[in-house]
Amino acid sequence: MTAANSVFSRTNRAFENAGLSCLKRHEIDFSPAAQVMQISSRLFQMLDRSDPVQAEVSLRLWVLRSSILFTLLPFGDSALRLQLQMNELEQSSLGLPDATQLIETLKKYVTDIVSVGRNPKRELFLHVLDESIEKDGGKIGIFCALSAGRPPGWPSERYAQLSALSDRLMLIGSRRHMRANVFGTVILPCACCNAPPELLSDLLFSGCAAKLEVLLYKGERFQIPKRLMLPVDGIFAGRLQKTDIESEVNVISGDSSMSAVDTWVNEAFWQGLHGAERNSSHNLVPANYMLFCDGTGTFLPANGRILTLPADGEVTDEADLCLVRVENVCEGDLIVLRSGDSGFLLDEATDRIMSSEDNESLFEIATDWKEALEALLVTHSNEQVAQALRERDAQTNAASIRQWIGPDVLGPGNERVFKELINLLADKGKIKKVDGELIRYADSRWKSLQELRGVRHKAGNLIRQDLFKVLFNRIESRNGQLNDGERIHVEGVTGAELLILRVSSVDRNPAHVPPSRLGQVDDLKGNKWLG
């Protein structure tokens, strides 16, 4: 590692940038784009998005408008499909006579934009790029995580063309790109209203760049997101220095209907992919939806963990396989899932160990008390059972009771709580044992539970070893890296098929889904929200 990109040098520059960071808004006076924004705004106000047809029109309109506002390609570039998008929008809005006139006017401006071909934002971008190349020697980033999924106006087949403009240019699509680099300049191609908020905050507040250049058409509104800060205390008050970027106040008044549309589209995008409940209810578990680069997606439990590989796909030793919290999974991460239900992998490995140790019935023995608990829950609520246990000085809550009954949690982790639970079940007549026999039963089940936990721990290690062996063979045989959507068959060991998937976007807002949806991979190819 050279000192120029060492941790120390990166940290040094991050602190320098945090102190001096300068954000510049470039406003481009380009009437056709401003007209597209105005007409879209009026159309959005008119459309009832609770009606599926009008929601479809809203989506097409948003994609068309965003393609024009987000893109740094010439408007005539065939990959943008602007004219085609306009025609499709026109077709889909045929049943909306009130919108006809506005659609006609919009078509005129889109046709103008396409026929002129030149994109003033691209020209400004090239100018800013040239200036940055001349003035500072640092890396130049282009923020391209402009929306969840594939951002309109950024066809993937043109990424290489943009990167080829300078060897110092880097497209920033994930947190990892930001954390591993410090930039001289970062260019934001639009108002970033649909960008994942945590990514935008990282970009603005983590000393990622010395200069931030925001390219806007007149009428586009870029807002610096609000950052949560430590409260003022009586000790350091007056000794801290605010950094420039925070003192900037946005005074440009914007169009509220546009921000409503952006809010709508941000939620509608995820609803269009997974369609899950946002509110909790009985039998639903909180989960985050991950959209992968290969056009698939899945729910992962919000409080769970997932196996990840290094984002660059280079696996050198077993330590490269990390279990990370689902909440910490970032765009660009490579995660490992079992095809079907990821939980089964652990069960299979557990079974293997138990049979090799001649202890095949361990699971049944260790968890046979669950039937008694299930029987008690027919007449008692989770909260009543939890309350009864608390009265016996066994601290627990209703959520734990619900988990113990399910397959994901083996049982109480605390011996005292477990034994009080068994006593309670006996007192309520659900376990037909008393005195010494009951004590021996509770003792033996606790011992079995602990033994089973040990086996599960071993199983976890076994899976890691198997997986590592297979991955390493795969990488060696290819002399290269892992692809974004690899399927790996773990031969002769578990017979399992593993998926290695690169995260494209994460729905940070948890949804509530039945446990059966966790880890189930949805094929989203052809989904209208993915373009």
Partner 1 sequence: MNLLPADLSKSISILDGCEKSSLPDWAASLIWLGAWCRSNRLAGKRLIVFAVLPTRELAAAFASLGCLISGAGNFVDALSWSTFKKLPLGRSVFWISKIGSKRYSGKIIGFKDYDGSEFIVVDVTKAPKKAEVGTRREISRNYFDDYLFTEEKPATAPRSASFDAAAQSLSYLVENLNPKWIWADGAEGLLVTNVATFESAIAGLSLSIEGQNPIAMSDLLCLERNKIQSHAKLRIDHPKGVISGNFPIVILDGAKAFMVHEHLTAGSNMLVILDRSEYQEGIHDEVMQLKSISSDCQNADLKSAMPGTLTPGVELAAYWVDE
Of the residues 135, 227, 447, 487, which one makes contact with partner 1 according to CB under 8 A: 227
Q: State both tokens at 183.
A: 């930039």
Say how many CA atoms lie within 13 Å of 453 toward its Cβ. 12
Binding string, residues 311-330; x marks residues near partner 1 by CB under 8 A = --------x-----------
The SS3 assignment for 397 reads: coil
Of the residues 160, 164, 226, 239, which one makes contact with partner 1 according to CB under 8 A: 239
Q: For residue 277, what are the contacts with CB-CB under 8 A and spacing of at least 6?
A: 284, 511, 512, 513
Q: Are 64 and 254 in contact (CB under 8 A)?
A: no
Count the site residues for partner 1 by CB under 8 A: 39
Say how many CA atoms lie within 13 Å of 188 toward its Cβ. 30
Q: How far is the CB of 207 from partner 1 (least distance, A)?
A: 4
Q: How far is the CB of 213 from partner 1 (least distance, A)?
A: 19
CA 228, 231, 232 angle in degrees (round to 5)? Answer: 135
Of the residues 18, 346, 353, 493, which one makes contact with partner 1 according to CB under 8 A: 18
Q: Are 53 and 91 in contact (CB under 8 A)?
A: no
Residue closer to partner 1, measured from CB, 295 or 310: 310
Contact between 206 and partner 1 by CB under 8 A: the answer reads yes
Distance CA(150)–CA(201), nearest Å, equals 20
Q: How far is the CB of 173 from partner 1 (least distance, A)?
A: 17
Candidates 61-69, 108-116, 187-195, 204-212; binding stretch for partner 1 (CB under 8 A): 204-212
Q: Most distant CA pair in the chain: distance in Å? A: 90
Task: List beta partners, residue 497.
Answer: 489
Q: State both tokens at 257.
A: 């209907």
Q: State both tokens at 388.
A: 């009864």
Contact between 481 and partner 1 by CB under 8 A: the answer reads no
Contact between 10 and partner 1 by CB under 8 A: the answer reads yes
Q: How far is the CB of 396 from partner 1 (least distance, A)?
A: 18
Contact between 297 and partner 1 by CB under 8 A: the answer reads no
Other Cβ atoms less than 10 A from the Cβ of 8: the count is: 8
Residue closer to partner 1, measured from CB, 242 or 525: 242
Contact between 241 and partner 1 by CB under 8 A: the answer reads yes
Candidates 11-19, 61-69, 489-497, 517-525; binding stretch for partner 1 (CB under 8 A): 11-19
Q: How far is the CB of 247 from partner 1 (least distance, A)?
A: 11
Of the residues 14, 268, 375, 475, which one makes contact with partner 1 according to CB under 8 A: 14
Of the residues 38, 166, 201, 271, which one makes contact with partner 1 according to CB under 8 A: 201
508, 520, 523: which is closest to 337 by C-alpha? 520
Of the residues 79, 94, 126, 229, which one makes contact with partner 1 according to CB under 8 A: 229
Distance CA(406)–CA(285), nearest Å, equals 12
Contact between 331 and partner 1 by CB under 8 A: the answer reads no
Contact between 180 and partner 1 by CB under 8 A: the answer reads no
Residue closer to partner 1, measured from CB, 1 or 164: 1
Q: How far is the CB of 315 from partner 1 (least distance, A)?
A: 16
Contact between 1 and partner 1 by CB under 8 A: the answer reads yes
For residue 74, CA distances in Å to 31, 79, 125, 217 come to 16, 10, 12, 15
Q: State both tokens at 374.
A: 């299930």
The SS3 assignment for 389 reads: helix
Of the residues 15, 101, 123, 407, which one makes contact with partner 1 according to CB under 8 A: 15
Distance CA(163)–CA(99), nearest Å, equals 40
The footprint of partner 1 (CB under 8 A) covers: 1-3, 6-12, 14-15, 17-20, 175, 198, 201-202, 205-207, 227-236, 239-243, 319
